[in-house]
Chains A and B, each alone.
Chain A
Amino acid sequence: AQSVAQPEDQVNVAEGNPLTVKCTYSVSGNPYLFWYVQYPNRGLQFLLKYITGDNLVKGSYGFEAEFNKSQTSFHLKKPSALVSDSALYFCAVRDLSGGYNKLIFGAGTRLAVHP
């Protein structure tokens, strides 16, 4: 079965420092991986996705993610964190087992960027 794990409940970073939010996955076949961000009282906003091609994927708001097949990871990164990046981040994988539709989400990682 497809699954995704986010090993950290919370990540604390000082503003201006690089940030990493970790995600590992378990899939059969090629993984289709996504990152979403949830701000308070808002829906899930799409950040970026990996389907195929370059292992480094660039997305919205200066975020990028590195796909690593050997480590089955898809960590979210940003070179310089902003206080406004503080939010809940979800990694997700497309479940191809029962169809091509549903996303399976990780538990989420709360990112806190301190001034």
Chain B
Amino acid sequence: EPEVTQTPSHQVTQMGQEVILRCVPISNHLYFYWYRQILGQKVEFLVSFYNNEISEKSEIFDDQFSVERPDGSNFTLKIRSTKLEDSAMYFCASSEGVLAASSDTQYFGPGTRLTVL
């Protein structure tokens, strides 16, 4: 069964450093997403991406964040200058988006745990 994969599983970085989190969505999917879950809190939407551009983003997704689909398979989330409060589990998801995107199921990857020291 196709799965969303994410690398690395755990990333430790120093405050102020740039990090890139990588995701490989399910191959025939057209919509891609990033969510995050700060320890003990809800899963929060960050951004959605369709047709090589951001289709929606949350207030969390400020200028420090960017997303890219550098090739036909990868989808990345970059944090330019990490802060302590960026420490969280980051989940990538994808959905088919062929017909009514609102009824699509989003399939999630296993997550990348980001620790900012």
User: Are the C-beta atoms of B105 and A45 separated by less than 8 Å?
Assistant: no
Given A101-B101, A102-B48, answer yes or no on A43-B110 (Cβ-Cβ < 8 Å): yes
Q: Which residues of B contact A105 (CB under 8 A)?
A: 42-44
Q: Is there contact, CB below 8 Å, between A101 and B48? A: yes
Confirm or deny: B31 has a beta carbon within 8 angstroms of a beta carbon on chain A: yes
A57 at the interface (CB under 8 A from B): no
The proximity string for B residues 93-117 relative to A, scoring 1 for CB distances below 8 Å and 0 otherwise, is: 1000000111101111111000000
Q: A103-B45, A104-B45, A105-B43 are in contact. Are A36 and B102 (CB under 8 A)?
A: no
B58 interface hit (Cβ, 8 Å)? yes
Interface of A toward B, CB cutoff 8 Å = 32, 34, 36, 41-46, 49, 51, 90, 92, 94-96, 98-108
Q: List 17 A-B contacts (CB under 8 A).
A: A36-B108, A43-B108, A45-B108, A94-B102, A95-B45, A96-B102, A98-B56, A99-B48, A101-B31, A101-B33, A101-B55, A102-B33, A102-B45, A102-B58, A103-B35, A104-B45, A105-B44
